Amino acid sequence: MNISSVRYLAPLCVAAGAIYAGDASAAVKLSESFNNAYYNPAADGEGVVTTITPLGNGMHNFYGALYTYDEAGAPTWLIITGNFLENQFENAEVPVLAFEGPVPASLVGGAPVGTATVTINSCNSISFNLDMSEDSGFADMDLGALQPVAGANKQCAYKTEFEGCPDFASDFGVIPRACTLTGVYNEDIVLTNDTTWVLDGLVRIGDYNENPGTITIEPGTTIIGAGQTTDYLYVSPGSKIFANGTPTAPIVLTSPNDGFIAGTTPNPGDLGGLVVSGNAPCNAAPCASEFDQTQSFGGDDPFDSSGEISYFQVRYAGIEFQPNAEVNSFTFQGVGSGTTVHHLQAYRGQDDGVEFFGGTVNVKYMVVTEGGDDAVDWDLGYSGNLQYGLVIHGEGFGEDFGIEGASNPDSFDADPRATPTVANYTFLGNGNGDSGILFKDGSGGRIFNTIVSGFPTGCIEWDDAPATYNAAGTPAAPNADVSAFNGVIIDCDVDFVDDDAAPFSVADYFGSSEFTGNEAVDPMLNIYLPMPGSPALSGGVADTSNQFIDATSYRGGFDGSSDWTVGWTHQVTGGE
């Protein structure tokens, strides 16, 4: 029987795989990139063909087919099939089923003949040890570490095996293959994906524009907290982060209770988050982290680079040291446009999903799911660009605004004023939280081709008159470099909310003849994707003044034919 004919048994055996939590969970995530034929080059003909099937929520079914003979000499397929949790690299109780004959008469059932310990070492090595039942007709089989016949799948990220902690880290001890980071690193360090990295308190890369360091994080790497809410990663101005995941191997920063420690459940606020600081402008003097006034940021270089971040998830994060002094899932402080950022997800954070304090950094493709506060927040003169986003509020998670746009709480007309551009976002309140978009503290914001739906207070709200209103101009003569609405669909019970001292209404500004493509209409979404006939599939308005923003014919985050969240995100529609 050839390899291709073996593979079609796999889907029929998925149901036979039981879930075994608590076996070795750390580093190396099983995925379809481990589909391969593995063999022992020292034992002619001995090998296992694997098929990995995603089951959702990070779980995968492992299916391995081994052709052998029983003690009577009868040809038999042994099927090794069981489910692996997201971060589980070893399962010691995988059922082994027997199918008689070189071509089985039936692909359903199979006689239980033992269990196997399956250990995922790397893309290039999977170990199998079969403990066969006494009456099975098979002797125990220790196949050892098998390697792929034709080399590892090119999409498989886990190229090396764990061999111990490097000099800059220490053995965590609580879970296998885990190394602890703590303190300040004024050097270049690499977080490899064969290790689960543990943040013990504040882990800072470099000092403020002195003794810089660089942190490089490989695709597929998992980072967890040590169990304190104050565990977070901070990249100082002048230092750099290079954290580039891939669509099939995102980087994940999460709670230690997210499948690593048996008997625990992850919760928002289990750890801090990721903070990146740079030397781009902000409108306060000085600019200092609200959660730690000793951490300064900002400067006069709008093109400053803090490195690269892509395909990066942060789960169950967020610290509130005191009211309005938080570490968010992602916090960008004075980060410049020379920094490359795309494909971020904030999942169930206790505070904001992504917050920008000053800076000019641009971000494409962002997902914020079931957060505890605002999904997107900006302050202190942020003036970057955001395109392609999805925000989904969930019941009972305390979300506030879809966007909370502020400029400077102490000086509403401080320069530079916050004037970011947001394009092709879908904001779904689902009846939870506050307003969809809030501008306050003198902030502007240029909103293009965006859907705002289901927020209970209102779709669009302006506060802090007259500053926020005056900066925007008037409905007859809008200052579109500060505030603009083009190609925006709103769908809330209350469309607009004004400050009591407003000199004009947000409704009139939204409906200005200087803008185009705005309407209050049902966007006709299937959860978050536009259905056939949806008004969101057309009506896109180009921002011709902005080279970063792509022109699209559609409105909202999705074109109706593809879903860019697939593969690299976690539980986009909610749920554990």
pLDDT tens-digit map of 58-77? 899 999 999 999 888 999 99
Highest mean pLDDT pick, 105-119, 290-304, 455-469? 455-469
Question: Can you read off the two tokens belonging to residue 472?
Answer: 């925007």
Question: Can you read off the two tokens belonging to residue 181?
Answer: 């980071």
Which tens digits make up the pLDDT trace of 14-38?
333 332 334 577 788 999 999 999 9
Question: Can you read off the two tokens belonging to residue 158?
Answer: 């886990």
Whole-prediction pTM: 0.93
pLDDT score at 81: 94
pLDDT score at 321: 76
Which tens digits make up the pLDDT trace of 447-462?
999 999 999 999 999 9
pLDDT score at 476: 98
* 42 burial level (CB within 10 Å; 0-12, 13-18, 19+): exposed
Q: Taking the CB of residue 63, how many other CB atoms lie within 10 A of it?
A: 27
Backbone angles phi, psi at 480, to 5 degrees: -70, -10
Peptide bond into 409 cis (omega under 30): no
pLDDT score at 357: 97
pLDDT category of residue 104 using cuts at 50, 70 and 90: confident
| Coil, strand or helix at 18 | coil
Domain ranges of the chain: 3-148, 177-373, 408-568
Contact of 129 with 143, CB cutoff 8 Å: yes
Average pLDDT of the chain is 92
pLDDT category of residue 46 using cuts at 50, 70 and 90: confident
Share of the chain above pLDDT 70, in %: 94
Distance CA 412, CA 74 (A): 83
Which tens digits make up the pLDDT trace of 291-343?
888 889 999 999 999 999 999 999 999 987 777 677 999 999 999 999 999 99
Q: Taking the CB of residue 55, how many other CB atoms lie within 10 A of it?
A: 13
Task: Report the Cα 277 to chain-centroid distance in Å.
Answer: 20
Share of the chain above pLDDT 90, in %: 81
pLDDT score at 575: 64
* 48 burial level (CB within 10 Å; 0-12, 13-18, 19+): buried
pLDDT score at 6: 39
Backbone angles phi, psi at 486, to 5 degrees: -140, 130
Which tens digits make up the pLDDT trace of 363-395?
999 999 988 889 999 999 999 999 999 999 987
Distance CA 247, CA 250 (A): 6
